[in-house]
Structure 1
Amino acid sequence: MKKVVAAIIKEKDQILIAQRHSKDPLAGKWEFPGGKLEPGETPEECLVREIREELRVEVEVGSFYDGNVYGFKDQAIHLLFYWAGIMNGEVTSVVHDDVKWITIKELAKFDFAPADIPIVKRLEREYI
C-alpha cells in the first residue's frame, strides 16, 4: 500500500488548499497539498520536499493530525495528514491549477478529492 502525506498548512485563522491540475486524475478537485513517500523517507521529510516542489515554500511540519486508508480502482493508499506552517517563501502553484487560503468554515464550499473528505469533516466538527 502506498503511503501519501498531506499538509494542513495553517497561517493565522486560515488553511491552504490546492486544486488538482486539469490533466491529473480527479482534475478540479481540491486537496491538502502533499505527495507520495519515497523509499527511506519519513513522512515529515516527504512533506518538506513535496511542499517545496509543489508550492515553492519551506514548511515546518508540526504534529500528526489524522490518517485514513482510501481505495482507488487499482490500489489503496494510506494517507497521513500533518499540521504545518510556512517558514519561508511565497506560495507559488507549480503543479496545481489554483491555491487558496480559506477558513475552516469555508471548507464546505469546495469540492474535495474523496480521500480528503474525512479530514475536511473532522476539521469542521472540531473547529467550527
Structure 2
Amino acid sequence: MSDGRKVVDVVAAVIWQDGRYLGVRRPEGKPMAGAYEFPGGKIESGETPQMALTRELREELGITPTAIAFFREKAHSYEHLSVQLHFFHVRAFAGEPLPLEGQDMEWLTPQEGRLRPFLEADRDIVDALALEES
C-alpha cells in the first residue's frame, strides 16, 4: 500500500557499551537537526541491511561492528517520506566512536534515553529498551 510518499530503507544501530547505548544528535543543517537518533542510514542498492550498517557506522563513527544482531523492523511515515527501519543491536565493535559528521554523541542508560528528544520513528524503540531494562 503506497500513499505516494517515497519509501526509504534504513538501518539503525543500538550500539552498547557498559550498559549504555549511543545516542547521536543530528547536526545543524540536517533535516530534524537537534533530534536524537540511533546511528545508521540508507541501505544502498545491492547492499544487505548488515552491509549497510557496517558501511554507515564506519562513515559516521569510524567503527566496525563485530557483533550484529537483528532487533526489530518497523515502518514510519513522516510528512515528506516513509521509512522502513531495520534496527540491530551492536554489542561489540572495533575502534572508538568519533563524531565524524559533526554530530553530538552521548552514551545513555536506557532510562536516560527516554529523557532525550529522539526522532519520532525511534521513540517506541527507546521505550522498549527502557522496559527491557526495568
Q: Normalising by the residue count of structure 1, what TM-score does the alignment of the two structures yield? A: 0.93
Say which SS state the counterpart of residue 114 (structure 2) adopts. helix
More displaced 10-residue stretch of structure 1: 77-86 or 34-43: 77-86
Moved more, 70-79 or 33-42: 70-79
Structure 2 counterpart of 1:59: 65
Q: Which residue of 47, 50, 60 maps to 1:44? A: 50
Distance 1:100 1:123 in 2: 16
1:33 pairs with 2:42: no
Match of 2:3 in 1: none
Which shifted more, 90-99 or 109-118? 90-99
Q: Does the 8 Å contact 1:6/1:34 carry over to 2?
A: yes
Deviations 1:27-64 (A, max 9, x none): 00001000000011000010000000000111124221
1:22 aligns with 2:24: no
RMSD of aligned alpha carbons:
1.2
Q: 1:5 to 1:61 in 2, by over 3 A?
A: farther
* Alignment gaps of 5+ in structure 1: none
Equivalent runs, 1:99-118 vs 2, <5 Å: 99-118=105-124
Residue 4 (structure 2) aligns with: none
Post-superposition offset of 1:113: 0.7
The 4+ residue runs of structure 1 with deviation greater than 3 A are none
Query: What CA distance in whole angstroms lies between the structure 2 residues aligned with 1:45 and 1:38?
Result: 9
Secondary structure of the residue that 1:5 maps to in structure 2?
strand
Identity of aligned residues (%): 34
- Structure-2 separation of matches of 1:6 and 1:61: 14
Residue equivalent to 2:132: 126
* TM-score normalized with structure 2 length: 0.89
Matched, 1:83 2:89: yes
